[in-house]
């Protein structure tokens, strides 16, 4: 076998491979041997059908499988020799048969990179948010969770709930029609154009907007606003607390615990950003695409140009960070016991079977290993206290994490 790397970017590879035609004969014979062991034909016992008959009857399918095996094994040998780690499924661009078999393949690989200076990273730990602010925000969250809605006659505004008769068409075909669907104005799962169109509408208003190739036609049937409850003893009792004082005490304890978790997460995110700043390399597009789609799925968002603009760079940074953490974990011999993974999977309520066991254990295990690596780096970091440089509100609302 001879080969040439015709495209040799950091993550994108293309190879041209030439194999003597005799090699295909060897693969064909190997496939015939496999078929012979399993085949049963009238007049012959299983495993005793002559190879000449098998070749005459099934040559086309046997040859196709032989070619597939030849291509796959040739690729595997080249990847091993070049010390590449595939990041995508290889695409067969073309294949020519003659005195020699020549084919071209295209694929992505994980880039080679080094990680240095990852211990002793200097981090600054923000001071805890004031108790009065934490309590205020926690009480507001409780009020939000226990809010009711009331119909209004004014124009619709952000955070209102609008009930619509909605028809969605795509390329001229009706994709969905709903006589009564309720949406919250400002919901990020909706297209931005839809949110803007809903603001200022009144009951009975009709509108039609087009986003990319999708058209949304709707009639406003009802507008409702959120009404927040007052914090008093009656409200406390409705939540099974003796009085307002007991409610606030319990919420304050929870708020302090959550604040400690937030500060730890903030430290981990700062550390992650430093790792990204120090370690620059190109990441495989297929990895980024997979992470981007996962983010959309988790947020129940559609794939659109606006969402790609919002999330693509974040997805790229997450992929790069994961590769960096995997490299550090390998160097520091950080591992996760399989029993730990199974216990977490069980605690999450996920059920394992023969079909999904390996993929779930592998996926969850990789997440746990990366978190363990972050914890290792935090222990090795130099952490200093500092006064808060952003307001409590900015701190609570900062959701620019590159980690999750």
Would you kindly state where each structural domain of the chain is located, as residue ranges? 2-108, 122-126+261-397, 148-227
Residue 200 burial (CB count, 10 A): 11
- Tens digits of per-residue pLDDT, 224-277? 999 999 999 999 999 999 999 999 999 999 999 999 999 999 999 999 999 999
Residue pair 74/1 in contact (Cβ under 8 Å)? The answer is yes
Write the burial class of residue 287 (CB in 10 Å: 0-12 exposed, 13-18 middle, 19+ buried).
buried
Residue pair 231/143 in contact (Cβ under 8 Å)? The answer is yes
User: Which range has the worst mean pLDDT, 22-26, 197-201, 334-338, 346-350?
Assistant: 346-350
148-227, what's its fold? Chitinase A; domain 3 (3.10.50)
CATH superfamily of 2-108: Trigger factor ribosome-binding domain (3.30.70.1050)
pLDDT at residue 44 in the model: 86
The two tokens of residue 100 are: 């020699």
Higher pLDDT, 396 or 142: 142
Please say if the pLDDT value at position 136 is more than 90. yes
Please tell me the distance from the alpha carbon of residue 34 to that of residue 111, in angstroms, as a whole number: 38
Give the end-to-end CA distance of the chain in Å, rounded to a whole number: 45
- SS3 assignment, position 206: strand
pLDDT at residue 40 in the model: 84
Please say if the pLDDT value at position 387 is more than 90. no
- Tens digits of per-residue pLDDT, 122-135? 999 988 899 999 99
List all residues 6 or more positions away from 260 whose beta carbon is below 8 Å from its beta carbon.
128
Beta bridge partner(s), residue 19: 101
Please say if the pLDDT value at position 145 is more than 80. yes
* Of 193, 188, 189, residue with least CA distance to 214: 193
Q: Give residue 393's pLDDT band: very low, low, confident or very high (50, 70, 90).
A: low
- Percent of the residues in the chain that have a pLDDT greater than 90, as a whole number: 74
Class of domain 122-126+261-397: mainly alpha
* Of 159, 138, 158, 141, residue with least CA distance to 149: 159
pLDDT at residue 259 in the model: 94
Beta bridge partner(s), residue 7: 14
Range 288-296 average pLDDT: 95
pLDDT at residue 404 in the model: 61
Mean pLDDT of the chain: 92
- Percent of the residues in the chain that have a pLDDT greater than 70, as a whole number: 96
State the pTM of this model. Answer: 0.73
Please tell me the distance from the alpha carbon of residue 358 to that of residue 374, in angstroms, as a whole number: 24
Buried b (16+ CB within 10 A) or exposed e, 155-170: ebeeebbbbbebbebe
């Amino acid at each position: 076998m001879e080969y040439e790397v015709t495209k040799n970017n950091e993550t994108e590879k293309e190879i041209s491979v030439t194999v003597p035609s005799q090699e295909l004969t060897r693969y064909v014979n190997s496939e015939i041997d496999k078929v012979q062991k399993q085949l049963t034909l009238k007049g012959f016992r299983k495993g005793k059908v002559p190879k000449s008959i098998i070749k005459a009857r099934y040559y086309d399918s046997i040859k196709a499988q032989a070619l597939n095996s030849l291509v796959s094994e040739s690729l595997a040998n080249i990847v091993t020799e070049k010390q590449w780690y595939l990041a995508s499924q290889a695409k067969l661009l073309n294949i020519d048969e003659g005195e020699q078999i020549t084919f071209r393949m295209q694929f992505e690989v994980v880039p080679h990179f080094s990680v240095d200076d990852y211990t002793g990273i200097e981090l600054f730990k923000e001071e805890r948010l004031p108790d009065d602010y934490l309590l205020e925000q926690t009480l507001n969250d409780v009020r939000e969770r226990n809010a009711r809605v009331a119909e209004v006659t004014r124009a619709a505004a952000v955070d209102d709930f609008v009930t619509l008769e909605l028809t969605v068409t795509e390329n001229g075909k009706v994709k969905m029609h709903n006589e009564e669907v309720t949406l919250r104005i400002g919901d990020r799962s909706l297209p931005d154009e839809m949110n803007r169109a809903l603001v200022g509408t009144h009951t009975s208003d009709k509108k039609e907007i087009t986003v990319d190739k999708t058209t949304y036609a709707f009639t406003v049937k009802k507008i409702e606003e959120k009404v927040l409850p007052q914090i008093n003893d009656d409200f406390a009792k409705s939540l099974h607390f003796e009085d307002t004082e007991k409610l606030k005490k319990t919420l304050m304890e929870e708020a302090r615990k959550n604040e400690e978790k937030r500060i730890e997460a903030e430290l981990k995110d700062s550390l992650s950003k430093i790792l990204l700043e120090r370690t620059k390399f190109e990441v495989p597009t297929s990895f980024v695409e997979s992470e981007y789609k996962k983010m959309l799925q988790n947020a129940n968002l559609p794939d659109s140009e606006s969402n790609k603009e919002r999330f693509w760079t974040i997805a790229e940074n997450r992929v790069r960070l994961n590769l960096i953490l995997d490299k550090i974990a390998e160097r520091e011999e950080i591992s996760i016991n399989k029993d730990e993974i199974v216990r977490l999977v069980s605690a999450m309520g996920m059920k394992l079977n023969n079909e999904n066991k390996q993929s779930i254990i592998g996926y969850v295990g990789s997440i746990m290993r990366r978190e363990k690596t972050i914890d290792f780096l935090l222990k090795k970091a130099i952490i200093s206290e500092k006064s808060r440089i952003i307001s409590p509100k900015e701190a609570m609302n900062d959701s620019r994490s590159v980690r999750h």
